[in-house]
Amino acid sequence: MSYNWIEILRVVGWLALAIGLWYIIRIAIFCAEARRYYFSPKERLLLLKYIMKKRLRLSGFFRSKSALLQVIAVVSGQKALMQEHSGLLERLYGAYTKLEHQLHSASLAKKQTSGKSSTESLEMGMILTVEFTNGCRKNAKVMGKENHALQIRLLDEVDEISDEVIVYFWRSDAGYRFSSKLLRKKGLYLDLQHTRHIQQYVRRAHPRIKLDAPARFFLIPAHQQANYEIERQAAGFECVIRDISEGGAAIIAEGRGQVGLHIKLQFRLGDRDLVMCGTTKDVYYDHEYNQSRIHIQADRNMPFTMKEPILAYVYAEEMNSLGNC
């Protein structure tokens, strides 16, 4: 009888050892993956703590959008932890953004062959860039989709219009383009043939989310360094933010904008006053309304204290969906 107990204890001991080794291997793999995202040893221990607390799978943590968002929600909700380990949240967002890029690239070919991408899906008022065969580019706006044609209005005069064009436009995730034929021209209004062959030609580094918020911007002289202090006295130029991400924003402002200006954009998001400094990269001028849609690329040295509320806003919908599960 005593011999049987010894055998049982021996088997239990081997099982415990095997389970222990299994967990050690999983933790080692997790730490190796976390190191690739530049998490410090202390941050890796904090991640392990929150993963265990939320009862998430350790293996594949950095390949699960749901798991990453759950830990981001926990970390961002703890202000004391944020002050001590602000880099932890920044690197979590970085891992999430990288995963989104990977998943998007994997599904891109499927989307392009599904036949669902069509010019009929373009929203009214969307800004386009039309390239003619002579190389001339003009900005335009989607005005309608009647008579089996895409109706657009050029925002400025053009000397020569070709029968074939290439049209470029941006969505929240990327830049797209398609080729089309001119069906009819009346003044600044063009009717283009619908097509289902829309191609992505550039991927946004950071997804953009629509926003309708008043803002002010200030010109930064070439000799002056950008600062992220809130301007209380200076008036600045009034504008409206139309979309935003941690990597930039699109604004609507009066007059004709210019490319290459270094500006300071100041706005309120939720209960926070924020500043984004950046360079104007694209300008779409509407001659009829004397307005410019200006795309700003944010400076890389933007403090995370300014980025974090923007990231929380960009991913708010996905965060909320987790809470409703």
243 pLDDT band, cuts 50/70/90, is very high
Cβ atoms of 307 and 92 within 8 Å: the answer is no
Best CA proximity match to 212, nearest among 65, 113, 72, 313: 313
Q: DSSP string spanning 117-180?
A: --GGGPPTT-EEEEEETTS-EEEEEEEE--TTEEEEEESS--S---SEEEEEEE-SSEEEEEEE
Mean pLDDT of 165-172: 88
Instruction: From residue 141, give the alpha-carbon distance in Å to each of 58, 125, 152, 265.
Output: 48, 5, 5, 25
Q: Which domains does the chain have, with CATH numbers?
A: 2-113 (no CATH), 119-203 (2.40.10), 209-323 (2.40.10.220)
Q: What angle do CA 200, 206, 207 make, to 5 degrees?
A: 70
pLDDT at 82 over 70: no
pLDDT at 116 over 60: no
Share of the chain above pLDDT 70, in %: 89
Most confident of 155-164, 298-307, 312-321: 298-307
pLDDT at 112 over 80: no
pLDDT at 115: 43
Most confident of 34-38, 124-128, 134-138, 216-220: 216-220
Residue scoring higher pLDDT (80 or 13): 13
Instruction: Specify the amino acid at residue 82.
Output: M
298 pLDDT band, cuts 50/70/90, is very high
Q: What angle do CA 129, 132, 133 make, to 5 degrees?
A: 145
* Contacts made by residues 135-138, CB under 8 angstroms, sequence distance 24+: 136/160
pLDDT at 113 over 50: no
State the pairing for strand pair 174-186/248-254: unpaired
88 pLDDT band, cuts 50/70/90, is confident
Write the pLDDT tens digit of every residue in 173-220: 778 899 999 998 888 899 999 988 888 877 777 778 889 999 999 999
Q: Is 190 helix (H, G, I), strand (E, B) or coil?
A: strand
255 pLDDT band, cuts 50/70/90, is very high
Among 19-23, 239-243, 244-248, 289-293, which stretch is predicted with the lowest mean pLDDT? 19-23
**Average predicted confidence (pLDDT) for the chain:** 84
Among 205-209, 245-249, 287-291, which stretch is predicted with the lowest mean pLDDT? 205-209
pLDDT at 143: 92
Mean pLDDT of 47-67: 86
Rounded CA separation 57/183 (Å): 56
Residues in the chain: 325
Mean pLDDT of 247-273: 93
Q: Dihedral of CA 245/204/248/156: which sign? A: negative
pLDDT at 275 over 90: yes
